[in-house]
Amino acid sequence: MSFHYFAGHAYRALTARKDGPSLYDVCDPVLAGPVTGDPHLAKFYKTALGNPALRMLLNRAGLPELRDEARLGRLREALRRAREDQEPDWAAVGAPVADLVDSIDLDHPRPPKIAFNRDAPALSVIDSVIRDCAHHLLRSYRESGFLPTYAAFNLIGDPDFRGRELIMALTGLNARGYKNSSLLFNLARVFIARSSARGIIHPPWKGIAEPMWEPVQIRHRSAYYDAFFIEALLSYVETGLASPADAAAAKGAIDDMVDFCINISREEVKAQDGRRFDVITALAPAPHPRFSRFFAQIKQDLGFGVYVPDCDTTACSFSAATQAGSRDPILDQPLLDFYEGYQVRAGTNEPRVTVPLNDNIDYEGGVATWIDNVKGERPYGNDLDPTLNLDILEVSFRNLARWKVLETPARLATVHRIIAFQKRLAESGAFANPRSHIYYLPELYSAYFGRCYAAYLALPLAAQQAIDPNGAFDLIRTRVLSYVQGEMLAGEINVFDAALALIALGHLGADVRTFAPALNCIVTELGEGGRRGPFRAYEWNKMKTPTRILVGGPEVTSAFVLMGLALARKAMTGRM
């Protein structure tokens, strides 16, 4: 977006006619004065929503329905109850905010259909972009001592998060600070979405994955991110394009990131049957996440004081370490024994999913996200994401012999039930619905299915037959390819969309002629990242609570472009 675009929207926001009480007219009488009751609610309000820049932007954003004194009074009373009650009735507290959230008009991107150049770029051009991305990663690692990723708040929230989902979050999350932040962020998003400030906080973009153009981005490190950076550098070395110096630098970075994933980020927990397992936490203890002192305090103030391990970070870290050739004893643990305790069985442990934001899908056979730490803390309640379950399958295939999956009926049954969960998603078409996903986009699900499918195809035929006797993977492959080729690549895309498409197409054995739209998008947009890298930062994954939090970064884009181009190159040169 141009300077004129933002200047115009800022002018309209600052000069708009105020049509009812603003966010600050609602909240200041309750939260801006002397603190009583729960101190976090007022602290969050002053830190996140009461900052001068946002206050100036939203000062004239009023809601006409709040001119009704009775309705305004109910809203303020809900805030008082959230602040004062020792055990608030969160459904009642959230009700007046939920009503307002339902007045927001938001939708997912719908890229226009366009005609693509069907001639693929020359292999030499593809090789050049691969080297650019790899050099960006190696340079960034050399300068920072790690590969950074960034988080950015989009205050307008997620299109699938409505009033109903707010009540789900307030009643299903455990940590009070997280409930507080969810309540106030959702109140604020109403004033943003229904005012001229919307154009500044939520400008339009090209493609599907959202660019991260918010001015405040929180740099940090996580084992989950390192796992994919490992895969990207491994794919670079595998292309044969790396010089001896680059190959050595990549190996050094990979070794360090493997250590970060399975040692520094290791945490012991209890399985549901009482056994002890070592799993991987998404945020290792300080100073390892590399937050600045300022953002470390902000993280605490926003209600993210306790961060627990999760099933996805554990699966991806184990997979990356396995691919890198690690022999650490942690990898000998049969993770499927642990995941079985978090696998949903209809009618028995369904309440394990306490925040069912994607209850349009059938959870039977899926594994929930968050792992109780050794103290039994569960700040985020629990949810269930389809893409996470692909990662569990992928790491299980890579460790099939080590974990004796085929020889252990309970482990094989766990795999079968996850595959059945994925098959239902494909048969119904739900995988292509953004609402079905908690932390990802359907486009990323498609790429991650390709990754999972490739690990499946690498198994002996007898093992493939034992794992998938009913041909579920072929069915899912057909549906995913149809989505990527017939929907995703039929419309306008950006670089991150293109990278995800190539990863899906490459792993799923698509005709190389279908690669052209994605390849041309990447080559055309090379340099869009300016001084920060070859490409811009885009949405890799997200959180829907307490508001829409995007995670990605220029390094992330380079990593996924590198992986997508490496796969395309392999197919185009007949090396698949």
What is the average pLDDT score of the chain?
92
Tell me phi and psi for residue 220, to 5 degrees: -160, 175
Cα distance between residue 541 and residue 482, in whole Å: 23
What is the 8-class DSSP label of residue 211?
A: B
What does the pLDDT read at residue 215?
A: 61
Residue 108: pLDDT over 80: yes
**Percentage of the chain surpassing pLDDT 90?**
79
Domains of the chain: 3-110+157-200 (no CATH), 123-153+202-572 (1.50.10.20)
DSSP bridge partners of 370: 310
pLDDT bin (cut points 50, 70, 90) of residue 66 is very high
pLDDT bin (cut points 50, 70, 90) of residue 14 is confident
What average pLDDT does the segment 271-275 reach? Answer: 89
Residue 323: pLDDT over 70: yes
Range of weakest confidence among 180-189, 345-354, 430-439: 345-354
Which amino acid makes up residue 121? P
What average pLDDT does the segment 452-457 reach? Answer: 98
What average pLDDT does the segment 274-296 reach? Answer: 76
Listed residue (358, 377, 309) closest to 338, CA to CA: 309
What average pLDDT does the segment 340-361 reach? Answer: 85
What is the 8-class DSSP label of residue 195?
A: S
Residue 115: pLDDT over 60: yes
What average pLDDT does the segment 177-184 reach? Answer: 94
Q: What is the CA radius of gyration of the chain?
A: 24
Listed residue (233, 241, 285) closest to 264, CA to CA: 285
| Residue pair 167/98 in contact by the 8 Å Cβ criterion | yes
The vertex-504 CA angle with 502 and 510, nearest 5°, equals: 85
What average pLDDT does the segment 470-479 reach? Answer: 98
pLDDT bin (cut points 50, 70, 90) of residue 294 is low
The vertex-155 CA angle with 137 and 65, nearest 5°, equals: 170
Listed residue (299, 305, 489, 282) closest to 371, CA to CA: 282
Tell me the two tokens of residue 576: 């698949």
What does the pLDDT read at residue 8?
A: 80
Cα distance between residue 558 and residue 534, in whole Å: 7
Which amino acid makes up residue 55? R
Cα distance between residue 298 and residue 304, in whole Å: 9
Max CA distance (Å), the chain: 72
3 state SS of 268:
strand
pLDDT bin (cut points 50, 70, 90) of residue 299 is low
Residue 156: pLDDT over 80: yes
Which amino acid makes up residue 564? G
| Residue pair 73/35 in contact by the 8 Å Cβ criterion | no
What average pLDDT does the segment 297-311 reach? Answer: 69
What average pLDDT does the segment 383-394 reach? Answer: 98
What does the pLDDT read at residue 521?
A: 97
Range of weakest confidence among 114-118, 124-128, 146-150, 559-563: 114-118
Which amino acid makes up residue 423? K
Listed residue (96, 138, 122, 348) closest to 237, CA to CA: 138
**Percentage of the chain surpassing pLDDT 70?**
94
| Residue pair 55/194 in contact by the 8 Å Cβ criterion | no
Residue 303: pLDDT over 60: no
User: Under 8 Å CB-to-CB from 547, ≥6 apart: which residues?
Assistant: 153, 154, 155, 157, 158, 181, 182, 185, 186, 189
What is the 8-class DSSP label of residue 273?
A: T
Cα distance between residue 521 and residue 117, in whole Å: 9
What average pLDDT does the segment 412-440 reach? Answer: 97
Count the Cβ atoms, other than its own, within 10 Å of residue 167.
19
What does the pLDDT read at residue 379?
A: 81
What does the pLDDT read at residue 484?
A: 98
Listed residue (324, 303, 446, 454) closest to 380, CA to CA: 303
What average pLDDT does the segment 308-318 reach? Answer: 95
What average pLDDT does the segment 420-445 reach? Answer: 97
Helix (H) or strand (E) holding 270: strand 266-270
Cα distance between residue 84 and residue 166, in whole Å: 20
What does the pLDDT read at residue 34?
A: 84
Tell me phi and psi for residue 552, to 5 degrees: 175, -155
What does the pLDDT read at residue 184?
A: 97
3 state SS of 309:
strand
What does the pLDDT read at residue 348?
A: 60
Which amino acid makes up residue 147? L
| Residue pair 138/555 in contact by the 8 Å Cβ criterion | no
What average pLDDT does the segment 144-160 reach? Answer: 93
| Buried residues in 525-556 as b, exposed as e (16+ CB within 10 A) | bbebbeebbbbbbbbbbbbbbbbbbbbbbbbb
Cα distance between residue 216 and residue 439, in whole Å: 21
Which amino acid makes up residue 382? N
Q: How far apart are the first and last CA of the chain?
A: 40
User: Under 8 Å CB-to-CB from 351, ≥6 apart: which residues?
Assistant: none
